[in-house]
Chains A and B, each alone.
Chain A
Amino acid sequence: MVEITDVVCSLCGCVCDDITVEVEDNKVTKVKKGACSVGKSKLMGHNRIKSPAIRVNGELKDCSYDEAIKKAAEILAASRRPLLYGWSSTVCEAQKVGVELAEELGAVIDNTASVCHGPSVLAIQDVGLPSCTLGEVKNRADLIIYWGANPAEAHANHMKRYSYVSKGFWTEEGKKAKKLVIVDVRATKTSKMADVFLQIEQGKDYLVFSALRAILYGHEDVVPDEVGGVSKKDLLETAEMMKGAKFGATFFGMGVTHTGARQNNIVNAIQMTRAAHTHTKFTITPMRGHYNVAGINQVCTWETGFPFAVDLTRGYAWYNPGELSATDLLIRQECDAALIIASDPGAHFPGESIKHLAKIPVIQIDPFPNPTTEFADVVFPAAVSGVEAEGNVYRMDNIPIRLRKLIDSEYPEDEEILKRILDEVRAIKEKEDK
């Protein structure tokens, strides 16, 4: 048995890097400390896709990697409008090859941000983001606000490692000397811990941000007695807590990105943070979901100039979320083939979009079978990044961290599979050119 310390978790955007595991006979046998229950389940492993496979007469038939590579490259090379989607649960090294493949094919490349924090990206491009690292929050913040987020369930270590419960350089007393405000439409495990719980009416986030902005700028006279289900008294109390904090930090989740106003909610949240700056230090950070969704936004931006929803069919990068995001392409029935990697649109896309995806040839690269596998036409099992493969990822605050390899894998890494598909696509194109 070998004990491995400082293991990095490859599940959510917290990317906890203080985990200890035990490894025996090339298996993770125990997660000793550091991981939450969600991260622990990832480290301990799940059922795997056992073999590469190609769908024949409706059934997936096992095949060799060579055969699957050939088939995948043929599908992509013959496609007039391929979509390369996913990328959030793999490492930056694989993402880089993905962008190269998109360039070679003249494809649309999009990532899971488009169904997650895409609106946050749009808002940040519009008005910027007064943010900081999670280390700053841990060491300085005495007021934490979670808005439309339920970290007790979705990012279980976030409060313990970085925010409300953590103890840092100027926050050595931990939660005893901090305040927690939760804004949500329903009571959750997180809201039970709050000093102040603002239960707002669903879809009224924009109004509540506006009311707090007005109060923080000294215009409480324009705020009515109730805004979005929250009393003026509670809004005034929250604004006083914000003004009185030494350092405030807001984290926001899908509660604001998934509702009607979308990016406008986030613009207003950022402007509320700016309003707080007239009194004290205040930051705001999106609660990114997948462990490397921030990474694909970084890699895609280095390589194409844009973070998601990028069209490379013109021979140069063209960016237009709402037109080129995966769900939009699918409901317009525009793409005629798709490569899905490190994500699961079968589970997480609207049913309306899945209908088209299920009809076109789909190539899937993933360690685990999931709803997307049910309609995938070529399937590649891959090594699990962070357990069987190393590589760089970006935490939710855009800090790069290197995932460690804990055990050997019988499966190739995402990067290797993508490189082989890229080589095969180039070979097909060279042949066609002759």
Chain B
Amino acid sequence: MGTKVNLISGRTTVQGRNLDSKMSDEYFEEVARCDLNKADMEKLGVAADESVKVRTSYGEVVVKAKEAAGTPEGMVFIPMGPWANALVSGDTHGAGMPVYKGIDAEIEKTGDKVLHVKELMQTYM
């Protein structure tokens, strides 16, 4: 059972720079990671670039942890992209828009490897 967190996603400069280059290593390094507060990283016992598993009712992914002072305690930020969206429900509750921010999630340290974009897409087939 992991620690309960509030999951949000959003744009970053490096993600934007690779919007048309999503199969690149730079995109992978930037987007397959999550921002966490220092206190949360200590609670989870993870250091920078160690893997964490993030799970919601809709899916789970493994991403690299990164310390971000601006992210409040109890919140996880994953840059928008395939890893964040693996955790999002397709149900829009009649609004047409999925809820991409404010998703109940659990997070824990893991030894599992981060899937590359091609491997991640394979999980849908």
Contact B96 A259 (CB under 8 A): no
Tell me, in angstroms, the Cα distance from A381 to B72 when the chains sit together: 43
Query: Within A249-288, which residues are at the interface with B (CB < 8 Å)?
Result: 254-255, 257-260, 262-263
Contact A352 B89 (CB under 8 A): yes
Rounded to whole Å, the gap between the CB of B14 and the closest CB of chain A is 9
Name the residue of chain B whose CB is nearest to the CB of A323.
B94
Contact A12 B16 (CB under 8 A): yes
Is B18 on the interface with A (CB-CB < 8 A)?
yes
- Residues in B lying within 8 Å of A, measured CB to CB: 6, 8-13, 16-24, 58-59, 68-72, 75, 77, 80-82, 85-102, 117-118, 120-122, 124-125
Contact A309 B96 (CB under 8 A): yes
Is A172 on the interface with B (CB-CB < 8 A)?
no
Rounded to whole Å, the gap between the CB of A95 and the closest CB of chain B is 19
Q: Which residues of A contact B8 (CB under 8 A)?
A: 185-186, 202
Contact B17 A188 (CB under 8 A): no
Rounded to whole Å, the gap between the CB of A117 and the closest CB of chain B is 9
Rounded to whole Å, the gap between the CB of A32 and the closest CB of chain B is 18
Contact B20 A354 (CB under 8 A): no
Option from A186, A255, A352, A370 in Cβ contact (under 8 Å) with B75: A186
Option from A38, A260, A344 in Cβ contact (under 8 Å) with B22: A344
With A37-B13, A352-B58 known as contacts, the answer to whether A202 contacts B75 (CB < 8 A) is yes
Option from A37, A328, A331, A367 in Cβ contact (under 8 Å) with B20: A367
Name the residue of chain B whose CB is nearest to the CB of A119.
B97
Task: Kindly supply a per-residue 1/0 record for chain A positions 112-151, scoring 1 wherever the CB is within 8 Å of any chain B CB and 0 otherwise.
Answer: 0011001100100000000000000000000000000010
Task: Select the stretch in A41-49, A67-75, A101-109, A215-223 that faces chain B.
Answer: A41-49
Rounded to whole Å, the gap between the CB of A40 and the closest CB of chain B is 8
Is A347 on the interface with B (CB-CB < 8 A)?
yes
Rounded to whole Å, the gap between the CB of B56 and the closest CB of chain A is 10
Q: Which residues of B contact A154 (CB under 8 A)?
A: 10-11, 16
Contact A351 B85 (CB under 8 A): yes
Tell me, in angstroms, the Cα distance from A242 to B59 when the chains sit together: 43
Contact B97 A262 (CB under 8 A): yes
Option from B20, B85, B87, B122 in Cβ contact (under 8 Å) with A368: B20
Rounded to whole Å, the gap between the CB of B10 and the closest CB of chain A is 6
Given contacts A258-B100, A370-B22, 5 further A-B contacts (CB under 8 A): A119-B97, A186-B70, A254-B11, A325-B96, A351-B87
13 contacts between A and B (CB under 8 A): A41-B21, A187-B69, A202-B8, A260-B99, A262-B99, A322-B92, A324-B96, A347-B82, A351-B88, A367-B20, A368-B20, A368-B21, A371-B117
Tell me, in angstroms, the Cα distance from A354 to B102 when the chains sit together: 21
With A351-B124, A371-B121 known as contacts, the answer to whether A186 contacts B77 (CB < 8 A) is yes
Tell me, in angstroms, the Cα distance from A344 to B6 when the chains sit together: 26
Tell me, in angstroms, the Cα distance from A132 to B8 when the chains sit together: 30
Task: Kindly supply a per-residue 1/0 record for chain A positions 370-398, scoring 1 wherever the CB is within 8 Å of any chain B CB and 0 otherwise.
Answer: 11001100000000000000000000000
Q: Which residues of B contact A370 (CB under 8 A)?
A: 20, 22-23
Rounded to whole Å, the gap between the CB of B105 and the closest CB of chain A is 12
Q: Which residues of A contact B21 (CB under 8 A)?
A: 41, 46-47, 368
Is A30 on the interface with B (CB-CB < 8 A)?
no
Contact B77 A371 (CB under 8 A): no
Contact B82 A259 (CB under 8 A): no
Name the residue of chain B whose CB is nearest to the CB of A229.
B72
